[in-house]
Amino acid sequence: MPRVKFTVLNYSICLNRMLSWNLGGQGVAHVATIVCTGDSDHRLIVGFQPQNEPPDANFYNAGSKAAYLIRPESEFLWYVDLLRNEKPVFADIDEDQPGFTYLYTGSEPAGEGERSLPS
């Protein structure tokens, strides 16, 4: 299966006490979720695990075209900062190896402020 790359146009944040996803038959606990959507029918969902949970593996669901990026809750503010303050932001989903799924920014010169998307 191919890699899917898309520009993140929207995101939503959900803070909760403790929820659990069933990903591939495994329960994955999380205390916050960020859902990234864009110019693709794919979604990148970042789940933040409680501090003392052993790390779970990333997961891709082909049926819903959703990639689950599992991170420790200590990184939550990093992701919020990236989504709020950088532009453009991209998602890269590896359907075969979900461990290589990530968010990243576009290239911009140091100290030049934000760049707008090409027209």
pLDDT recorded at residue 67? 92
Cα–Cα nearest to 35, from 77, 74, 66: 66
How much is the pTM? 0.84
Query: What's the DSSP call for residue 79?
Result: H
pLDDT recorded at residue 40? 87
pLDDT recorded at residue 87? 87
Residues of the chain with pLDDT under 50: none
